[in-house]
């Protein structure tokens, strides 16, 4: 059983140093696991045999923390003290297996320790079997719910590095700092394929490409669970949201997604499959429906596909209140009893039922009436206990925060900065960037002076809007620009807030006296339903600011601090330079300023297609018929910037694209090599992208498909030959019978660093 860690690790794309780290940890883990897994299984069976139905069902309850605190569930708190009477109900009587969420503010690691210890000790002293709870939390960009932790870039920014090592390190730091707070289970990473630019949770995803998503997800899983989980610096991941969450047909959160099964298998399941193979210990279901069928009651995807075909041995957990939502949102169940029965019988192992334990009474009743089989309950509890034993929670239910000396350390801050710097993507540069450091600058805009906007949602609080929890030592873009250019050279005017003009006219007046304008535009931190929008363009007031500033004739650099790609087509021509910062986290201000002034040579590339028009928002892996234009030609794809696009302060030249074979047969490997030369005069990091294009297929082929990438460093004048290996597996697609196939015919390899100008070479494939 290799669910803890699959040694068939995909290491090829990792840097050399990471390769060494992983090789060591894989072999250690491999050795440890052989003994450990069977040991875990034995312990699980022994404990399960002693449990009553009530105790088993208690394990399936994932209750919200406020339910064991005094006061209203959603009441404001600035301290969290456990309520013994409530613990008696939920931890003793019902024996809840899991607690999740925050008290509404971000406790320090010491406060977290006392909270978790309080519950674990209570259970030890008051319950028959003393089964520890597992604490679950959304530490999605660093341990964001632990005050003082390292607030890393959001996933979409990490994706723009195209560097799985950055995902690995983020997983590692996040798990370490979570565990410093006695939090062992993280509701992350997000493996959703984000196909809808309107969707407000794009910032939490790795973007639109299934291959890039898979590579980053696997790296994050390994970074989090690196030592096989017994080590108290790891976290069990919870990969989410299974399935099709990022593809709501109307672009709204939790909306129905219409995805035929062959597409589900081709694009949406692979990142989860890779995560399972990498050892992911749990998976969260998606709150939405796919083809009208709510994921939480879809036995086919949970039991047949996930647990069956993919062989997933971990825990399937519901999203927040999602059994109830089968009634009130999906209208697919008439009563709570029916909803519970449908969800548990579909394969749900643990219900995130935040407010109370009513679901336990319901499950028990359903079992007693023969409507849920005991074997289903045993399967669920086995998975939950396996997770707890794997995490060593029975022996180490909490950990002393004092032992975690790297928490919030300089070392982690540097990793954070490096990840943010590597993410930043230069979208336009008309001979303006980098700026000289003694230039006179006006900096303005909603995103110029806010740590909250740099961090986005899930930052100390759910929506990340509270400024009280920001670290005063961190720099906004404004602070960092001042440190670079000198206080006296920098003028700051707010200009606008998110939606409204504040003092655009003052900004325009001040602009007349400077050399350059830096306009920082951005999105208000938001997630889930509060992040739903109806229109994709950047809010009007922010665009107006740029339009008015442009009238001064001064050169403008736009910095975008946003999760999803807000349309900028009207202001893009007014800017001489455009820098995409995504949601870069606590070190993002410094990273942006260092790009502006040339201390960092930007090398990030877009992990999604940046649309120019609302009515022309397509993922890059669309069909030729999707881009038929009004003249009946095929030029109807008008993105502002393509997936995989990003400039640098240097230039690269690609040449000598070579394929090892003209005709590939059966399982043969195809070796691809390409030379990349740094033709500029500064060093840079370049992402080399390899796409495959199937020229003809029964199911209309995608215009292209990413199959490999690598990141290389080149000094000025230096050339490197970059090599890749692919096989027929990389060329397969899913047919209407849901089989992965590849048909005989012509294919192309597209190689390069700019999707607009790739080198192309043809080969023939024969089964
Ligand atoms: C979100 C999940 C999250 C869960 C627990 C839900 O509303 O959709 O992504 O993990 O809450 O906080």
Q: Report pLDDT digits (tens) over 277-320.
A: 999 999 999 999 999 999 999 999 999 999 999 999 999 999 99
DSSP string, 329-382: TS---SSHHHHHHHHHHHT--BEE--S-SHHHHHHHHHHHTTSS-HHHHHHHHH
Token digits of residue 573:
């021509």
Going 225 to 229 to 234 to 238, the CA torsion angle's sign is positive
What is the C-alpha separation between 639 and 616, in angstroms, rounded?
7
Q: For the beta carbon of residue 51, count every other beta carbon within 10 angstroms.
A: 20
Report if residue 412 sits inside a domain.
no
Ligand 1, atom 2: closest residue by C-alpha: 319
pLDDT, residue 228, reads: 82
Same domain, residue pair 207 and 290: yes
Report if residue 501 sits inside a domain.
yes
Same domain, residue pair 655 and 613: no
Is the CB of 528 within 6 Å of ligand 1?
yes
Same domain, residue pair 657 and 619: no
Same domain, residue pair 436 and 368: no
Annotated active-site positions, please?
319
Report the half-sphere exposure of 2 (CA within 13 A, side-chain side). 13
pLDDT, residue 12, reads: 27
Please report which residue ranges of 91-163 form alpha helices under DSSP H.
109-126, 155-161
Report if residue 612 sits inside a domain.
yes
- Kindly tell me if the per-residue pLDDT of 3 is higher than 70: no
Per the DSSP assignment, residues forming a β-bridge with 537 are 567
The bridge status of strand 239-242 relative to strand 282-285 is parallel
Same domain, residue pair 576 and 666: no
Is the CB of 287 within 6 Å of ligand 1?
yes
Average pLDDT over residues 537-542: 98
Domain end among 403, 436, 470: 403
Domain end among 592, 626, 660: 626
Distances (CA, A) of 516 to 141, 148, 590, 596: 33, 35, 19, 11
Instruction: List the CATH number of the domain containing 598.
Output: 3.40.50.1700
Distances (CA, A) of 336 to 327, 331, 365, 660: 7, 11, 12, 60
Give residue 137 CA to ligand 1 midpoint distance, Å. Answer: 9
- Collapsing DSSP to helix, strand or coil, 257 comes out as strand
Instruction: List the CATH number of the domain containing 750.
Output: 2.60.40.10
- Kindly tell me if the per-residue pLDDT of 260 is higher than 60: yes
Pocket perturbation via mutation, ligand 1, pick of 66, 187, 243, 254 by most ligand atoms within 8 A of CB: 187
Q: For the beta carbon of residue 117, count every other beta carbon within 10 angstroms.
A: 16
Nearest atom, ligand 1, residue 188 CA: 10
pLDDT, residue 11, reads: 30
| pLDDT confidence tier of residue 718, bands split at 50, 70 and 90 | very high
Nearest atom, ligand 1, residue 240 CA: 9
Same domain, residue pair 464 and 318: no
Domain of residue 158: give its range. 34-59+137-403
Same domain, residue pair 611 and 671: no
pTM of the model: 0.95
pLDDT, residue 38, reads: 79
- CA angle centred on 499, ends 497 and 500, rounded to 5°: 65
Is the CB of 253 within 6 Å of ligand 1?
no
Domain end among 568, 591, 626: 626
Q: How far is CA 729 from the centre of its chain?
A: 26
- Kindly tell me if the per-residue pLDDT of 683 is higher than 70: yes
pLDDT, residue 37, reads: 58
403-457 pLDDT, tens digit per residue, is 999 999 999 999 999 999 999 999 999 999 999 999 999 999 999 999 999 999 9
Instruction: List the CATH number of the domain containing 163.
Output: 3.20.20.300
What is the C-alpha separation between 159 and 217, in angstroms, rounded?
10
Same domain, residue pair 758 and 677: yes
| pLDDT confidence tier of residue 36, bands split at 50, 70 and 90 | low
What is the C-alpha separation between 466 and 460, in angstroms, rounded?
8
What is the C-alpha separation between 100 and 351, in angstroms, rounded?
11
Give residue 475 CA to ligand 1 midpoint distance, Å. Answer: 29
Report the half-sphere exposure of 624 (CA within 13 A, side-chain side). 11
| pLDDT confidence tier of residue 35, bands split at 50, 70 and 90 | very low
Token digits of residue 37:
């897994």
Distances (CA, A) of 583 to 172, 247, 284, 417, 734: 20, 21, 24, 13, 34
Same domain, residue pair 489 and 378: no
**Structural domains of the chain, count:** 3
């Amino acid at each position: 059983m290799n669910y803890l860690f699959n040694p068939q690790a995909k290491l090829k794309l990792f840097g050399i140093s990471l390769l060494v780290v992983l090789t060591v940890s894989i072999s250690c883990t491999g050795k440890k696991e052989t003994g450990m897994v069977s040991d875990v299984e034995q312990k699980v069976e022994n404990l399960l045999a002693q449990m009553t139905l009530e105790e088993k069902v208690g394990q399936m309850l994932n209750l919200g923390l406020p339910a064991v605190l005094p006061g209203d569930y959603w009441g404001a708190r600035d301290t969290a003290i456990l309520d013994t009477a409530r613990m008696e109900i939920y931890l003793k009587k019902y024996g809840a297996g899991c607690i999740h969420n925050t008290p509404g503010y971000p406790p320090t690691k010491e406060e977290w320790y006392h909270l978790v210890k309080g519950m674990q000790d209570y259970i030890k002293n008051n319950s028959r079997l003393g089964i520890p709870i597992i604490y679950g939390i959304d530490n999605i960009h660093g341990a964001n719910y632990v005050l003082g932790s390292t607030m890393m870039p959001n996933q979409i920014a990490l994706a723009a590095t195209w560097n799985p090592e950055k995902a690995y390190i983020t997983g590692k730091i996040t798990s370490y700092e979570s565990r410093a707070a006695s939090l062992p289970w993280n509701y992350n990473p997000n493996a959703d394929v984000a196909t809808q630019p309107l969707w407000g949770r794009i910032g939490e995803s790795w973007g639109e490409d299934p291959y890039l998503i898979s590579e980053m997800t696997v790296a994050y899983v390994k970074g989090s669970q690196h030592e096989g989980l017994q080590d108290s610096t790891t976290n069990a991941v919870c990969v989410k949201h299974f399935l099709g969450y990022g593809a709501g047909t109307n672009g709204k959160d939790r909306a129905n997604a219409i995805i035929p099964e062959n597409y589900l298998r081709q694009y949406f399941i692979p990142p989860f499959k890779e995560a399972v193979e990498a050892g992911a210990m749990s998976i969260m279901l998606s709150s939405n429906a796919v083809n009208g069928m709510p994921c939480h009651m879809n036995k086919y995807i949970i039991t047949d596909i996930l647990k069956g075909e993919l062989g997933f041995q971990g825990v399937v957990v519901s999203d927040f209140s999602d059994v109830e939502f089968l009634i009130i949102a999906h209208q697919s169940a008439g009563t709570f009893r029916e909803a519970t029965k449908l969800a548990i019988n579909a394969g749900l192992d643990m219900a995130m039922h935040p407010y109370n334990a009513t679901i336990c009474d319901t499950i028990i009743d359903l079992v007693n009436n023969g409507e849920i089989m005991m074997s289903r309950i045993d399967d669920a509890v086995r998975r939950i206990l396996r997770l707890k034993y794997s995490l060593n929670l029975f022996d180490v239910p909490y950990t002393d925060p004092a032992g975690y000396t790297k928490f919030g350390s300089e070392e982690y801050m540097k990793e954070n900065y490096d990840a943010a710097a590597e993410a930043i993507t230069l979208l336009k540069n008309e001979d303006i960037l980098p700026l000289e450091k003694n230039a006179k600058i006006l900096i303005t805009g909603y995103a110029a002076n806010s740590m909250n906007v740099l961090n986005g949602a899930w930052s100390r609080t759910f929506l990340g809007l509270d400024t009280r929890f920001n670290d005063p030592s961190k720099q906004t873009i404004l602070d960092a620009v001042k440190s670079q250019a000198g206080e006296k050279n920098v003028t700051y005017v707010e200009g606008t807030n998110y939606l409204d003009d504040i003092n655009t006219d003052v900004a325009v007046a001040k602009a007349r006296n400077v050399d350059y304008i830096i306009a920082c535009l951005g999105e208000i931190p938001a997630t889930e339903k509060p992040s739903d929008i109806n229109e994709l363009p950047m809010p009007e007031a922010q665009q107006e600011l740029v339009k008015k500033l442009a009238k001064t004739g001064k050169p403008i650099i736009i910095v975008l601090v946003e999760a999803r790609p807000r349309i900028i087509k009207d202001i893009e021509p007014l800017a001489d330079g455009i820098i995409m910062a995504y949601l870069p986290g606590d070190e993002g201000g410094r990273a942006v300023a260092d790009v502006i002034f040339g201390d960092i040579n930007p090398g990030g590339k877009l992990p999604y297609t940046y649309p120019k028009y609302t009515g022309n928002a397509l993922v890059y892996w669309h069909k030729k018929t999707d881009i038929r234009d009004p003249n009946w030609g095929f030029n109807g794809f008008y993105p502002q910037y393509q997936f995989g696009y990003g400039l640098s302060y240097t230039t690269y030249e690609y040449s000598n694209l070579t394929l090892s074979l003209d005709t590939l047969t059966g399982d043969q490997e195809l070796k691809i090599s390409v030379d990349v030369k740094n033709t500029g005069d500064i060093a840079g990091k370049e992402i080399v992208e390899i796409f495959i294009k199937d020229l003809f297929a029964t199911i209309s082929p995608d215009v292209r498909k990413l199959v490999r990438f690598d990141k290389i460093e080149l000094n000025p004048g230096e050339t490197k030959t970059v090599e890749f290996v692919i096989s027929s597996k990389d060329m397969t697609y899913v047919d209407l019978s849901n089989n992965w196939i590849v048909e005989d015919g012509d294919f192309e390899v597209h190689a390069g660093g700019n999707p607009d100008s790739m080198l192309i070479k043809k080969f023939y494939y024969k089964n």
